[in-house]
Amino acid sequence: MTPTTTERTDFVARLRASFPLDRVLTEPGDLERYSHDDAEWAPFELPLAVVLPESAEEVSDAVRAAAEAGVRVVARGSGTGLSGGANAVADSIVVSLERMTAVTEIDVAERFAVAQAGVINDVLRSTVAAHGLWYPPDPASSAISTIGGNVATNAGGICCVKYGVTRDYVLGLTAVLADGSIVRLGRRTAKGVVGYDLTHLLVGSEGTLAIVTDVTVRLLPLAGREERAVVGSFASLQDAGVAVAAITAAGIIPSALEIVDSTCLRAVDEWQKLGLPRDVDTMLLAKVDEPGALGDAAAARVAGLMAEAGAVGVEQAAEPAEVARLFLARRLAYPALERLGPVLTEDVCVPRGAVPEMLARIQAAARENQVTIANIAHAGDGNLHPLIIAPEGDDSAKARAKTAFDRIVADCLALGGTVTGEHGVGLLKLPGAAEELGPRVLDLHRAVKHALDPRGTLNPGKAFPA
């Protein structure tokens, strides 16, 4: 089925004939730029071409042409993925949805919006906010990632601990199937149970079952929340982990509960000169968002539990600017780390009670493999992001980092966790996914993939081990 060199050339020529010239990219620089997402060390190939469609119909045209030519199709949002899910494969085209940026409908009374796949998460949020509505899912990449990419990976974020993930807000979608046909799935009503839940099957399927071209998202009222921040400083990751366990065991559901460790704090401070105290090992950053007296009580309770868990200091804020200031270290942690070298981002998720133990095991993995591992964590979800740093060009460090990565995955499974909390399997987590899912469930994945994409046109080799 692999196309010959002539067939490839013919295919690209046909593609260029059927799209405006500036929307089929074939320059080497463009091919390189679109060939991979933000995952370090995940393999990729150069695509045959990059197509920039402006409608579902144009996506369909590209998919149909590719399917006929035996060429694979890799869909891409803005390439902020951290697992290699959008990396080009051999004999593929990349279909970038970056030009499909319209929010085509906002229904205030029914509280939903329809956004094309290329709409940036923050743009969707601000657009609906102007109508008094709130789209909660807030991946750290919200300023640059697209709603289509968020849907493809079922993206999480900071407020998920209280408000859920992308899948929880997807009511329906338009998708281009592997044969090029365009389908509408899901609904616009508050409830509905007609047929199989194919809408949510596509969410998180990493472009392997269909290419999502627009999404109908459920919204919440913007009003009624008042954010308060409570930030505790701890002498160790473990102490912060104990505070996390205490807060969740108390039945408090914060709207954010994040850990930032000393490595991240130092990196942020060296970069931004925030004057963070050098004796703080770990910061635990919480938000509560109940209004009025309820919020005051919740914030006081969180602060009390942090103190009981041994916090060396606790700060509170209710003013939006002050809340933002307290969370600044969290927001800057990832870019600050990236300045230190290629960052291999882990994404394990363990039961909340296992957070202290998992953090200890991550530290052990760093020690034993002599690599630097920084930690940011959606601690309230048990979703940890150990950031493994290996200096550019240091092959030995890279090998040790890989060993640490594998060990962390194994430890997470041993603690009853999942190998990926929110980033997706992509290419990086294929071995872990195989272990977590087991052979019979993998059979089911293959059967479902074959049912929707019998020729293996869409993003083959991603999302689950084939």
With beta carbons less than 8 A apart as the criterion, state whether 248 and 241 touch. Answer: no
Distances in whole angstroms, Cα of residue 292 to Cα of each of 54, 295, 299, 304: 46, 5, 11, 19
Of 375 and 383, nearer to a second copy (C-beta) is 383
Q: Which 123-142 residues touch a second copy, going by CB under 8 A? A: 132
Taking phi over 0 as left and psi of -120 to 50 as alpha, with beta for the rest, 305 belongs to: alpha
Q: What's the chain's Rg over C-alpha atoms?
A: 22
Pick from 74, 165, 302, 344 the residue near a second copy by CB under 8 A. Answer: 165
To a second copy, the closest distance from the beta carbon of 458 in angstroms equals 13
To a second copy, the closest distance from the beta carbon of 111 in angstroms equals 8
Of 12 and 379, nearer to a second copy (C-beta) is 379
Q: Which 293-352 residues touch a second copy, going by CB under 8 A? A: 293-294, 349-352
Containing 371, the helix (H) or strand (E) segment is none
Q: Which 367-386 residues touch a second copy, going by CB under 8 A? A: 378, 380-383
Pick from 62, 73, 114, 161 the residue near a second copy by CB under 8 A. Answer: 161
Of 21 and 293, nearer to a second copy (C-beta) is 293
To a second copy, the closest distance from the beta carbon of 304 in angstroms equals 17
Residue 135 — φ and ψ, nearest 5°? -105, 105
To a second copy, the closest distance from the beta carbon of 12 in angstroms equals 29
> Which region among 266-274, 317-325, 335-343, 438-446 touches a second copy (by CB under 8 A)?
438-446
Of 261 and 290, nearer to a second copy (C-beta) is 290
Q: Does 99 bind a second copy (CB under 8 A)?
A: no
Pick from 420, 428, 457, 458 the residue near a second copy by CB under 8 A. Answer: 420
Taking phi over 0 as left and psi of -120 to 50 as alpha, with beta for the rest, 368 belongs to: alpha
SS3 content of the chain, % helix, strand, coil (to 5): 40, 20, 40
Of 142 and 369, nearer to a second copy (C-beta) is 142
Beta-carbon contacts of 111 under 8 Å, excluding residues fewer than 6 positions away, are: 133, 218, 219, 220, 221
With beta carbons less than 8 A apart as the criterion, state whether 417 and 354 touch. Answer: yes
- Annotate 315-355 with three-state secondary structure: EEECCHHHHHHHCHHHHHHHHHHHCCCCEEECCCECCHHHH
Q: Which 396-415 residues touch a second copy, going by CB under 8 A? A: none
To a second copy, the closest distance from the beta carbon of 92 in angstroms equals 21
Q: Which 170-229 residues touch a second copy, going by CB under 8 A? A: 177, 181, 183-185, 187-198, 200-201, 203-205, 209, 220-221, 223-224
Number of H helices, E strands in the chain: 15, 18
Distances in whole angstroms, Cα of residue 14 to Cα of each of 71, 328, 394: 13, 49, 44
> Which region among 98-106, 113-121, 326-334, 419-427 touches a second copy (by CB under 8 A)?
419-427
With beta carbons less than 8 A apart as the criterion, state whether 159 and 422 touch. Answer: no
The per-residue b/e assignment along 257-280, b for 16 or more CB within 10 angstroms, e otherwise, is bbbbbbbbbbbbbeeeeeebeeeb
To a second copy, the closest distance from the beta carbon of 418 in angstroms equals 4
Q: Which 100-119 residues touch a second copy, going by CB under 8 A? A: 107-111
Pick from 38, 61, 138, 436 the residue near a second copy by CB under 8 A. Answer: 436
To a second copy, the closest distance from the beta carbon of 325 in angstroms equals 27
With beta carbons less than 8 A apart as the criterion, state whether 210 and 179 touch. Answer: no
To a second copy, the closest distance from the beta carbon of 245 in angstroms equals 7
Q: Which 234-293 residues touch a second copy, going by CB under 8 A? A: 245, 248-249, 251, 253, 290-293
Of 30 and 179, nearer to a second copy (C-beta) is 179
Q: Does 353 bind a second copy (CB under 8 A)?
A: yes
